[in-house]
Copies of this chain bind each other. A is one copy, B any other.
Amino acid sequence: MTERRHDREFVRTFFTSPTAVEGEADSAKMLRRAAQLRGMQAPDVWVPDNEDATAPSMRDEGAENIVEVVVEHGADFPGEIHPRMVWHRDSPTTRYQGFQHMLEIADPERGAIEHIDGFVIPEVGDIDDWKKADEFFTIVENEHDLEEGSLKMSVIIESGQAELAMGTLREEMGKPTNNLERLFLLVDGEVDYTKDMRAMTPTGELPEWPELRHNTSRGASAAGLIAVDGPYDDIRNVEGYHERMAENRAKGMLGIWSLTPGQVVEANTSPLPPKTGSWLLDIDGEQVELEAEDGAEVYDGDHLSLEATDGGYQLHIDGTTRTLDADELREELHGMTSYVPSMDDIVDSMEEFEAAKEAGRGAIAMEQSATLRIGGTEIDISKDRMWDEATYQAAMTPINLFQDVYENRPDQHEELNERYGADVVSRAMEVGL
């Protein structure tokens, strides 16, 4: 796995909050509130947003507010702080304004910059446009006697040009005339991307853009950066947010933009392994989670039912009945079930594999057993899976993420210990090292 380039190897949450709100006595109220979030409510990366979330007329005041609030709360904020500046590939005015705000916010005499980890640049174009932004970072660092390359730069991918630029990062980052090694997050911005691509849907809903997300994840992998998905607008739809995150994880995009502290909690916890394992039953291509009850895994839906008969079983699936003996039934259920391991299960398996490896064995079988209860009838099944070095390495991803979180977010220790128990946590911190 390609090593990421900065302290944080994983970023789960990218939380934007407006830097100034018009018509409020305290225009920095929402900034202050965000700065005081802690634990699962606090994001890995907090983005005081001086672009879209702040009205155009309020952006100078927004930059001032960033300085003020970060001076006040920055030292205690548990995540990284990356204000978003204005920028546009097609507007030198906007780019110059973004530069001026960076210069101002980064002035060490103002006292904010020591708590700021970098800046976020939206609406970037092709790679040469990224270099213009990078050059402004370098000038800001030079003017303010900061170490060259010390400010991280994250970009919002919201144009076809920027999507293509991600294909060249690996080679561009090595060139002597830029400091693109400062790059940190590649964040998809699907609303503006949709506009740039001129895409339309009948209801105005955003397209899913699977290829964009793949390319962002791949770009991050190839260049040692971190991929983050865009905002999920339908903020009351928690289930939809979770589905989107699950899809993203299957693409290697483990972080997502959050618009509310509620979304931050969901996005902080979603990529972590579950507390308890669970069995899934595949019903017509949909995965139904079975309920654990008195030691059995219970399905009581309408699509499937099971009866024990004299010589064996009758399995009813959507109106079709099949007569099977116990072995045939097990084979049938084998193909229909799968197991979602808990954190404890994963750690167990990794420890077991590490021990086997030390004893000179390269592959071992891991078994998972359960009693299924379908329509009141029970049957025992077991599934085994071969673990070799590659399986072990792949299983490391969630553990690496957990270890990264645990090291970087002491404010979440209490919640993590509560979730998993101190024993599992301490074993999870030991495996794979």
Complexed CA–CA distance, A114 and B389 (Å): 33
For A396, list chain B residues within 8 Å (CB). Answer: 195
Which one of A77-85, A104-112, A159-167 is at the B interface?
A: A159-167
- In chain A between 310 and 341, which residues have their CB closer than 8 angstroms to a CB of chain B? 319, 335, 338-341
Which one of A36-44, A176-184, A246-254, A419-427 is at the B interface?
A: A246-254
- In chain A between 151 and 178, which residues have their CB closer than 8 angstroms to a CB of chain B? 159-161, 163-164, 167, 170-171
Do B192 and A393 touch across chains, with their CB atoms under 8 A apart?
yes
Do A203 and B1 touch across chains, with their CB atoms under 8 A apart?
no
For A360, list chain B residues within 8 Å (CB). Answer: 22, 55, 57
Residue among A197, A211, A254, A398 having the largest count of chain B Cβ atoms under 10 Å: A197
Do B205 and A338 touch across chains, with their CB atoms under 8 A apart?
yes
For A237, list chain B residues within 8 Å (CB). Answer: 335
With A203-B280, A204-B341 in contact, do A219 and B160 touch (Cβ < 8 Å)?
Answer: yes
- A232 CB to closest chain B CB, in angstroms? 14
A395 at the interface (CB under 8 A from B): yes
A217 at the interface (CB under 8 A from B): yes
A351 at the interface (CB under 8 A from B): no
Do B340 and A202 touch across chains, with their CB atoms under 8 A apart?
yes
A interface size (C-beta, 8 A): 72
For A195, list chain B residues within 8 Å (CB). Answer: 1, 390, 393-394, 396-397
A199 at the interface (CB under 8 A from B): yes
Partner of A252, one of B161, B198, B339: B198
Complexed CA–CA distance, A376 and B169 (Å): 59
Complexed CA–CA distance, A252 and B251 (Å): 22
Do B55 and A254 touch across chains, with their CB atoms under 8 A apart?
no
Nearest chain B residue, comparing its CB with the CB of A249: B200
* A 395-408 to B, binary, CB cutoff 8 A, 1 in contact else 0: 11110100000000
Do A198 and B222 touch across chains, with their CB atoms under 8 A apart?
no
Do B1 and A196 touch across chains, with their CB atoms under 8 A apart?
yes
Nearest chain B residue, comparing its CB with the CB of A237: B335
- A392 CB to closest chain B CB, in angstroms? 10
* A 31-75 to B, binary, CB cutoff 8 A, 1 in contact else 0: 000000000000000000000100111000000000000000000
For A389, list chain B residues within 8 Å (CB). Answer: 52
A261 at the interface (CB under 8 A from B): no
Complexed CA–CA distance, A198 and B164 (Å): 21
Do B52 and A394 touch across chains, with their CB atoms under 8 A apart?
no
Partner of A197, one of B164, B197, B221, B385: B221
* A 209-239 to B, binary, CB cutoff 8 A, 1 in contact else 0: 0111011011111100000000000000100
Complexed CA–CA distance, A329 and B246 (Å): 28
- A120 CB to closest chain B CB, in angstroms? 16
A-B residue pairs in contact (CB < 8 Å), sample of 28 = A2-B161, A22-B360, A55-B362, A56-B362, A57-B360, A126-B171, A160-B222, A161-B221, A163-B218, A164-B218, A164-B222, A191-B390, A194-B394, A195-B394, A195-B397, A197-B221, A197-B252, A198-B221, A198-B254, A199-B397, A200-B249, A200-B250, A200-B397, A203-B340, A203-B341, A207-B250, A211-B211, A302-B319
A-B pairs with the 7 shortest C-beta distances? A160-B221, A197-B252, A199-B252, A160-B222, A160-B218, A207-B250, A211-B214
